Amino acid sequence: MMKRYIFPLLLGVVGCAILISLGIWQVQRLGWKEAMLAEISAKIEGQPQALPPEGTDTKPLKYEPVTVSGRTTGQEILVLSGQKGVGAGYRVVDAFQTDKGRKILLDRGFIPEGEKGTDRPATDLTVTGNLHWPEEADSYTPKPDAKSGIWFARDVPAMAAKLGTEPILIVARTVQGAAQGITPVPVTITGIPNDHLGYAITWFLLAIVWAGMTIFLLWRIRRQQA
């Protein structure tokens, strides 16, 4: 008679164990992710340094704070974007000539859609910001619109090739000089997903449901034997 209980009980125990272990794994991943985000946040807000030497691969230096002085060139790329409370608009990525003669990419920030046609001539700026390699472009990202010149993602190598700069992008945090209606959009950790708590809760809830279904099945077996 007890043999009828063995398989559903074993299935229930094994299933609950697997689901609980997945939940615990996600809790561990949550701790790892929070530590990583804290490290990135500390790097973003660190002491600004000079721009790395020419030829340096800045991809591993993502989020490093830097300060540069120089002059915008008037050559810019507008990347389709949006801002809460403002609406649609564009990120302005400028070709920036440093005081030392280097030409790099500078993400100056956001402009509303209506400011697209505003003239932004060359101007002197001192910028504090962060090196960045945004991973926004994939196989589904449309190519830049040839007619309007609008881009749909920040692609560092492609933008550098278009504007004739080094493949280095600085995202402005603070700007000294003529803002020209552009609002800086600093690099933050808010765009980095951290869904591990939600995943953990889901696995634990599934374990509870699985345990409940197991208990119900055992109750049904007992009723049938009564």
In tens, the pLDDT along 119-174 reads 899 999 999 999 999 988 888 888 988 788 899 999 999 999 999 999 999 999 99
Confidence of residue 226 (pLDDT cuts 50, 70, 90): low
Cα separation values, 49 from 40, 63, 64, Å: 16, 12, 8
- The gap between the terminal CA atoms of the chain, to the nearest Å, is 11
CA distance linking residue 133 with residue 131, whole number of Å: 7
The reported pLDDT for the residue numbered 80 is 94
The reported pLDDT for the residue numbered 140 is 85
pLDDT at residue 9 greater than cutoff 90: no
Cα torsion 83, 89, 91, 96: sign: negative
Q: Give tens-digit pLDDT for 84-102.
A: 878 899 999 999 999 999 9
Angle (CA) 52-63-80 rounded to 5° is 110
Cα separation values, 146 from 80, 141, 143, 151, 160, Å: 14, 15, 9, 9, 17
Q: What integer is the mean pLDDT of 93-117?
A: 94
CA distance linking residue 185 with residue 91, whole number of Å: 9
Average pLDDT over the chain, rounded to an integer:
91
The reported pLDDT for the residue numbered 221 is 79
The reported pLDDT for the residue numbered 67 is 96
The reported pLDDT for the residue numbered 108 is 96
pLDDT at residue 109 greater than cutoff 90: yes
pLDDT at residue 198 greater than cutoff 70: yes
CB 130, CB 203: distance < 8 Å: no
Q: What is the pTM of this model?
A: 0.80
Q: What integer is the mean pLDDT of 32-54?
A: 92
Instruction: Name the one residue in this structure whose structure tokens are 């603070």.
Output: 174
Q: Give tens-digit pLDDT for 171-195.
A: 999 999 999 999 999 999 888 888 9
Instruction: Give the DSSP H or E segment for 108.
Output: strand 103-112
CA distance linking residue 179 with residue 149, whole number of Å: 22
